[in-house]
Structure 1
Amino acid sequence: MVRTKKEDHPFPLLETIIEEDKPEETTNQEIVEVGKTVDLSDDEVDPEDAEEGLAQPGWEWYNEDDKSNQCDEKGIGYTLKKIDYICPQIASSSQKSSGWKLCASKLEFKGRGLIAGYGIQWNIAYDSRQGAYEGRRVITELLGNEDDKYAGKSAAGHFFKS
């Protein structure tokens, strides 16, 4: 079977667009102020009479009296709290990741490393936590190095003290 030869159709022509004259801009237009002005005067608030703000849906409030974050200085809870602290610290930059690798090779740790996406999804967090728990000697060494770094300084930037 032989196909018929297709005719060569040229590109369709478009009509030219006629430019319209631009209206003259007037500089004497009135400026209209929209909205209310914000009063930035400092009203004195007595701290004893001040009320705590109401919680908004979707926001968490830090409560100093909350004991749910407290755990013993020994045991698995404290170890996992250290892991939750150090995993995002290590995964946050390539410099800290290379510090992890260097410290792991110095301690002859052959386990898996930390996952850079720590905290995104529960299964990724679980895998990273497992890897960090296996490498807890490396974490102890890194925290010890951080202790040495902050020795004699304010502990404001340092979370764990040994």
Structure 2
Amino acid sequence: MNTQNYQNHRKFYPPHHFIYLPLLLALQIYGIYKSLQNDENQLVWILFSVVIFLLLYLSIMVRQHYALGLQNRLVRLEFKQRYFEMYGKRSDEIEAKLSFGQIAALRFAYDDEFNKLLNKALTENTSGDEIKKAIKNWKGDYHRI
């Protein structure tokens, strides 16, 4: 992976952003234009426009996937903040040793259990599910999408 800097920090998915969406938008406009003309193929063009609209709608719904990715980044950020508040130091080395499942599972533990479960995750490589099962006093997350 390249080192990130100002020139390369933006992330586009070229097939989606620069080919697929513009093509669908152009086809949608063309389909609506053709369906407004009174000829024997008007019903076909209406159906074409509906199908293109559905494809466009589904492609926009891919943004939900992006939202989940962002949510996972926030979970990591919460871990970093919590680790810093508890230990007064950066968590980069610790975070690198944990899977995302382990980090996400640790969110449900209150501070008194967090340290014990974190050490167990680091030494025994317990899974996120095992961490969740080991929590005695569950700290709910009621804001997750």
The verdict on a shared fold, with TM-score over 0.5 as the criterion, is: no
Greater C-alpha Rg: 1
TM-score tier after normalising by the smaller chain length: under 0.3
Which is richer in helix?
2
TM-score by length of 1: 0.22
TM-score by length of 2: 0.24
